[in-house]
Amino acid sequence: MTIPFESLRQALEEERSRLREELARLDARAPEGIGYHDHMADDATDVVDQVVRVTLRRHLEARLREVEDALRRMEEGTYGICQDCGRPIEVARLKALPFAAFCLECQARRER
């Protein structure tokens, strides 16, 4: 089956825009500073919020890198080819995860 490059490219570009917007919103919600409250519980809440925000930021940045790498592979002509074994990545997998860099078998092996 032929890979629907244009629809996958569009999905990747939309995901890239969404991720960039989400990162910008995350930056806009950043707290002024920790330690300026009258109660320790308020400071603790700020610390937890900051940890969650940092974790979310790292996740979004990692996903953005995956999306940008997939777009780069499209430009290079290597999109849809597993980066481990060199076999084609299943079209159904690419439709579900357009930024997939590995076939299902190699991805499962990496996760073990």
The H-or-E segment that residue 57 falls in is: helix 40-76
Count: domains in the chain: 1
93-97 long-range Cβ contacts below 8 angstroms, 24+ apart? 94/3, 94/8, 95/4, 95/8
% residues pLDDT > 70 (the chain): 82
User: pLDDT tens across 41-93, in order?
Assistant: 665 666 677 888 889 999 999 999 999 999 999 999 999 999 999 999 999 99
Q: Does the pLDDT at position 34 exceed 60?
A: no
- What pLDDT, on a 0 to 100 scale, did the predictor assign at position 85? 97
Instruction: Tell whether 97 is covered by a domain.
Output: no
pTM of the entire predicted model:
0.81
Domain that holds residue 21: 5-79
Instruction: Tell whether 33 is covered by a domain.
Output: yes
Average pLDDT over residues 101-106: 97
Instruction: Tell whether 37 is covered by a domain.
Output: yes
Instruction: Tell whether 26 is covered by a domain.
Output: yes
Instruction: Tell whether 111 is covered by a domain.
Output: no
